[in-house]
Amino acid sequence: MAQVAAQISKKRKVADGVFYAELNEYLTRELAEDGYAGVEVRVTPARTEIIIRATHTQNVLGEKGRRIRELTTLVQKRFKFSENAVELYAERVQNRGLCAIAQCESVKFKLLNGLAVRRACYGVVRFVMESGAKGCEVVVSGKLRAARAKAMKFSDGFMIHSGQPTRDFITTAVRHVLMRQGVLGIKVKIMLDNDPTGRQGPKQTLPDIVTILEPKEEATVEVPTAQEFGVPPPAPVAAEQPIEA
């Protein structure tokens, strides 16, 4: 019985992963010009809620909510949801300078509009660092100017490359641009700083940060004293009673 339950949960995990991957791929293509920055799926007993994060939420909603209703109908028919079983919402990205997906799309559209690679990448790196990031790295690879392909890396700030903190502090996005000379690959990595509120970054700090505490102030000893351990203390001396006349 336990083996059957494990197989069911495994199939459900695979099905949920395939659903998320296909939904994310479709929304990436459909909402690329509207600053699409990711999607979150929340499953409740009543219905499935799909939250679309974007920098231009008004374009995602459309005029009088027309576009979001069209997207809801498409998702409902493609994944065979029942009537009113799925609902789509649009959420605005709080700080687009710390969103790797939004900045990767920004580099992509700058290159498509004919801007030079160096100028486009340096502009994005500067904007990310001004938004409060701890580090930023942009890599563009492909046939940039000559016939021979190469890669150009633009970085600023502090960046880590291994360990668990890379999963907690670094957001990564990859996009491909079809140019006249060929396909260019764009990779953006942003290292977030820790934030106790959890809004602009993870709450925890990096594990290699050492906090030096201030030493406690000890009371000064004015008169030196000596204490013998293992010796019983002397018996208290009884107070002398006054002699009555």
pLDDT digits (tens, 9 = 90+) for 66-94: 888 888 888 888 888 888 888 888 888 88
Full domain range(s) for residue 168: 97-191
- Cα–Cα dist 228/209, whole Å: 44
Q: Are residues 167 and 134 in the same domain?
A: yes
CATH code of residue 104: 3.30.1140.32
Residue, of 220 and 62, whose pLDDT is higher: 62
Query: Which residues touch 117 (CB under 8 Å, ≥6 apart)?
Result: 111, 140, 144, 152
Tell me: do 156 and 77 sit in the same domain.
no
Residues 85 and 27 in one domain: yes
Q: Where are the alpha helices (DSSP H) in the chain?
A: 2-30, 57-61, 66-78, 100-112, 117-130, 165-169
Domain presence at residue 220? no
Q: With a cut of 60, say whether residue 106 has pLDDT above it.
A: yes
pTM above 0.75, yes or no: no
Task: Tell me how many domains the chain contains.
Answer: 2
Q: Over the stretch 176-209, which tens digit does the pLDDT of each residue have?
A: 999 888 999 999 999 998 888 877 888 888 888 8
Judgement on whether residues 59 and 127 belong to the same structural domain of the protein: no
**3-state class (DSSP) for residue 245:** coil
* Same domain membership, residue 101 and residue 71: no
Residue 3 carries which side chain, given as an amino acid letter? Q
- Residue 239 resides in a domain: no
